[in-house]
Amino acid sequence: MALLGCGEGGATSASTTASVAAHRPQATPALCGKLRASVTGTVQTAEAPELSGLVASRSQPGVLWTHNDSGDRARVFALRPDGQVLADLDVPGAEAVDWEDIAIRGRELYAGDIGDNDRQRPSVDVYRFPEPRVPATGSTAPATRLTLHYPDGAHDAETLLVDPRSGAIVIVTKEFSGRSGVYVTEGSSTTLRRAGRFELGPGGLATGGDVSADGRVIAIRTYGTVFVWRRPAGVSLAAALRRTPCASPTPLREGQGEALALTRTGRTFYTVPEGLHASIRRYAPVRHSR
């Protein structure tokens, strides 16, 4: 069993139950140092009281895509970092049982209907649809529904990752034991493959995550900590998550936080917690604020 942590940074540790391949040490990601948090705005609509996913557009600078948790219809919002609403769009062809995270690859969005608090769903769904240009009204283009099955029974999950290189979909489960499973599917397969498992310390519940536009940085958050992996070339997302992450010593103090969006380079990220007119925050390294 390998111990995962931040070395001399003194931040939260994590341990993995998956085998870790030998590899050369990687430079510590900038997000694993001390971070400066700044409130960039508040969500300027009462229609978004329980946001549970966040991703930054790759083709429209300053656009963040998000959605509500369970209880809402199938729709997405486009926000500016200052909280201005640029779009409130229904997603035709989609249903919303328990949407928990949103991801992006190029100009396609992926909405993860992957929540299952009671662990009773026989399958979960990921909806893929073209990213709309904003400002916009009405609805997105019709979504393609990907119905996915776990190989070992139902799981609750709040983290959806999509590989910008290969298009592989990765779901990270949320376990009260703190030991998250990593499940992946590629191509047309509807059966997820368990590709690993890791532990984010005591009470480490994975509540959201993202991948940088170039695929080199992976971030997964809990309610209070962000864990970061640097992904070398030629390594899949699942394999990268079996490597050693680091964690910033700066806590994410924002309430019920289940959303995280990396910027293109993976050097900063945005968050938004649940709650009416919630604050949008930007986290950047203290010495590297780009």
Total number of domains in the chain: 1
Q: What residues contact 284, with CB distance under 8 A and at least 6 apart?
A: 35, 36, 38, 267, 268, 290
pTM of the predicted model as reported, rounded to 2 decimal places: 0.89
d(C-alpha 122, C-alpha 177), whole Å? 22
Q: How many residues does the chain have?
A: 290
Is 250 domain-assigned? Answer: yes
Residue 158, CA distances (Å) to 52, 73, 242, 248 in order? 8, 18, 19, 21
Residue 256 is predicted with a pLDDT of 92
Residue 2 is predicted with a pLDDT of 33
Given a cut of 50, whether residue 16 has pLDDT beyond it is no
The domain in which residue 223 lies consists of 2-285
Is 290 domain-assigned? Answer: no
Of 25-29, 66-70, 242-246, the least confident? 25-29
26 pLDDT band, cuts 50/70/90, is low
Is 54 domain-assigned? Answer: yes
Is 244 domain-assigned? Answer: yes
Residue-by-residue DSSP string for 154-223: ---EEEEEE-TTT--EEEEE--TTSEEEEEEE-TT--B-EEEEEEE-STT----EEEE-TTS-EEEEE-S
**What average pLDDT score do residues 54-68 get?**
97
Residue 23 is predicted with a pLDDT of 40
Give the CATH number, domain containing residue 221: 2.120.10
User: What is the tens place of the pLDDT at every residue in 155-202?
Assistant: 999 999 999 999 999 999 998 887 899 999 977 889 999 999 988 876
Is 260 domain-assigned? Answer: yes
Residue with the two structure tokens 């640097």: 230
Is 182 domain-assigned? Answer: yes
- Residues of the chain with pLDDT > 90, as a percent, come to 81
**What average pLDDT score do residues 1-10 get?**
32
Average pLDDT, the chain: 89
Is 231 domain-assigned? Answer: yes
Dihedral Cα 28, 160, 118, 280, nearest 10 deg: 80
**What average pLDDT score do residues 14-23 get?**
37
Given a cut of 80, whether residue 290 has pLDDT beyond it is no
Is 66 domain-assigned? Answer: yes
Dihedral Cα 44, 49, 52, 53, nearest 10 deg: -20
User: What is the tens place of the pLDDT at every residue in 196-239?
Assistant: 998 887 678 999 999 999 999 999 999 999 999 999 999 999 99
